Amino acid sequence: MSEQKGFHADMEKCIGCKCCEAACQDFYRMPPEIRWRKVRSFEMGEFPTALRVHLSLACNHCEDPACMKGCPVEAYTKRGKDGLVIHDPTACIGCQYCTWTCPYGVPQFDPVQGVVSKCNGCYQRVDEGLMPRCVESCLTGALSFGNVDLHAAEQRQVVTEAPGFPDPSITRPSTRFAWPLKGPQPDHQVSIAPPAADPHAPAQKEGK
């Protein structure tokens, strides 16, 4: 593989506008419940130095992708020239094994289509010399995309972890993060994942 490409998320620049979410969803014409990129917002630190920060996440295009290992029909491939992990929906049988093996919860099952889907890094656009649609739509430049080895040289503080982010040594994700220059350092015990719905909870009535 010539180089590993990946996303870089600058949390000092991200304002939580979710333009990246909307641009991705619109470009791929996905249903509302399927989002390949998600922006999480959370607080860290304590008054008077507390911060509210935003983090945009999609597929990490891992060096050792667990989704690919968990697929029994080889619907996943990792491109040799840039390391992007591509899912082939025509080969997918909807078994959802990849949704269980991915530690980041990236692959999503579409019950209408009966298959799984995930961020493909906009590899068609990349092949044409363009940026992924989410990066192109970012209003503040908080998202960038390129060779992960160059991120450290171009950014002030680059790390491979974020709050709630699983141990990066498991799959070696290509996503890199830059924390704000001021304020507290991230508490890695804070979860950025939304709370899971309780399947046994009673349904709420309309108007409640």
Mean pLDDT confidence for 115-126: 96
pLDDT tens per residue, range 130-172: 999 999 999 999 999 999 876 554 554 555 556 656 777 788 9
Predicted confidence (pLDDT) at residue 93 exceeds the cutoff of 90: yes
The answer to whether 69 and 101 have CB atoms below 8 angstroms apart is yes
Instruction: Give the DSSP letter string of 169-206.
Output: TTT----EEE--SSSPPP-TTS--SPPPP-TTSPPPPT
Mean pLDDT on 194-198: 42
Question: What is the structure's pLDDT at 187?
Answer: 45
The larger pLDDT score, comparing residue 108 to residue 149, is at 108
Angular region, 15: left φ>0, alpha ψ -120 to 50, beta rest? alpha
Intra-chain end-to-end CA distance of the chain, in Å: 54
Q: Which domains does the chain have, with CATH numbers?
A: 5-178 (3.30.70.20)
In the chain the beta strands, taken as DSSP E runs, fall at 5-10, 38-44, 51-57, 76-78, 85-87, 108-110, 115-117, 143-147, 158-159, 176-178
Predicted confidence at residue 164, as pLDDT, reads 59
Q: Which residue has the higher pLDDT, 149 or 61?
A: 61
Q: Are 102 and 69 in contact (CB under 8 A)?
A: no
Residue 52: other Cβ atoms inside 10 A: 10
pLDDT category at 206 given cuts 50, 70, 90 is very low
- DSSP label at residue 130: P
**Measured distance CA(175)–CA(160) in Å, rounded:** 7
Per-residue pLDDT averaged across 19-45, rounded? 91
Q: What are phi and psi of 8, to 5 degrees?
A: -125, 125
Average confidence (pLDDT) over 66-71: 93
Question: Would you call the peptide bond into 48 cis, given omega within 30 degrees of 0 as the criterion?
Answer: yes
Residue 202, token pair as written in the block: 């009673």
pLDDT at residue 149 in the model: 76
* Percent residues over pLDDT 90 in the chain: 55
Token pair of 128 as six digits: 């044409």
CA distance 80 to 128: 17
Mean pLDDT, the chain, integer: 82
62-66, 119-123, 147-151: which has the minimum mean pLDDT?
147-151
